Structure 1
């Protein structure tokens, strides 16, 4: 299983992967304290040991500015391209999901990733949660096949179980009027992967205005 918020854990579950993810996020120098502020659960000493080990391997470049030690990813290292690609697994997953859902056409009104995969709080046993809203122009059998295939693909891509909550647009509007709390979560923290956030906002606003 994957933690999209800890992408290098797919190849190394140690602090090394977390540190490399930070260094791969930008081609700039980082201090140990800057890395520690990002990796809130890691100790400064643990980060220092990881950086020293990676510097010996040549993956990390070490410099000293005054009394401050700084570090950055060695982008010329043979492993750098793979490290950067791994660090971007979250965006790669979302792009692949958008591309797949884009093939569904206008029948798919809206889709979003929600839950821990959207908020960056995934654990090893976390599901990937998806909200889908569709029009009534596609038969139930065809729609069910698409949803089943989507769940299969997400699991194949990530190793995580995929939990899909789907509504027709009429069902969605009725649930929104009833105050379905899931929609508030999606509106606040969801990651849109089909349709537009403006569509979701409009639908929820209209639902809220109804007596």
Structure 2
């Protein structure tokens, strides 16, 4: 699936894209406003979709002067599943957070990065996850950690249909990579979505080697 295009999981048509726009805000939209968001669709195609959805009652159509406006009918029986689909990205991140919380103190930090974080996923994109392990937990801890890493990769695929690509660092490996200014860590600092630990801790580990990070996409 494409986390940035959640309705594509159930329909490849323009209808899903239009519904995603309407479900994104409790507001009315004109055809031109929807068109500015869905730049690859034609205004005429958007108009046809909106009118078709209005005949189903899913969309409320009104006219202000000569301007047609549309909004999602939140009282419609289909509104709840439509809004749930629109929130699939947040639902995925929340579910991942809940799962990683069970790892306890063995996990120091985790973040989704790459196309899943930047909103540029394709249908066949991997979902990239960085894991930073806390300390040295011995051989038994290694076995538990290995099992957990395998399981979280499996869960990501089960939840989304995409391969989970895990990048893992032991504590000493992470310190060495941070000191060397590893580019992947810089990417995570700028665009990653935090799902375990805190972004402030992660950036603090990188600061001595590469200066202050803005962390503009932090999900604390």
Distance (whole Å) between structure 1 residues aligned to residue 20 and residue 181 of structure 2: 39
Gaps of 5+ in 2: 212-220
TM-score when normalising by structure 1 = 0.96
Q: State the structure with bigger RCO (CA 8 A, min sep 6), 1 or 2.
A: 1
Aligned to 2:20: 21
Moved over 6 A (4+): none
TM-score when normalising by structure 2 = 0.92
- Once the two structures are TM-superposed, the CA of residue 118 in structure 1 deviates from its matched residue by 0.3
- Once the two structures are TM-superposed, the CA of residue 137 in structure 1 deviates from its matched residue by 3.6
Distance (whole Å) between structure 2 residues aligned to residue 37 and residue 184 of structure 1: 32
Aligned match for 2:171, one of 169, 172, 185: 169
Aligned to 1:11: 10
Q: Give the 5 Å matches for 1:14-93.
A: 14-93=13-92
Distance (whole Å) between structure 2 residues aligned to residue 62 and residue 16 of structure 1: 16
- Once the two structures are TM-superposed, the CA of residue 208 in structure 1 deviates from its matched residue by 3.2
Alignment length (residue pairs): 208
2:62 is paired with a residue whose SS is strand
- Once the two structures are TM-superposed, the CA of residue 33 in structure 1 deviates from its matched residue by 1.4
CA-to-aligned-CA distance 1:39-89 (integer Å, 9 cap, x gap): 222221111111011111111111111111110001111111110001100
- The CA RMSD over aligned residues, in Å, is 1.1
Aligned to 1:193: 195
Gaps of 5+ in 1: none
Distance (whole Å) between structure 2 residues aligned to residue 116 and residue 42 of structure 1: 22
Distance (whole Å) between structure 1 residues aligned to residue 72 and residue 56 of structure 2: 11
Aligned to 2:95: 96
Aligned match for 1:140, one of 129, 139, 142: 142
Distance (whole Å) between structure 2 residues aligned to residue 5 and residue 54 of structure 1: 22
CA-to-aligned-CA distance 1:136-194 (integer Å, 9 cap, x gap): 34322111100000001111111110000000121111011112110111111110000
Distance (whole Å) between structure 2 residues aligned to residue 167 and residue 40 of structure 1: 40
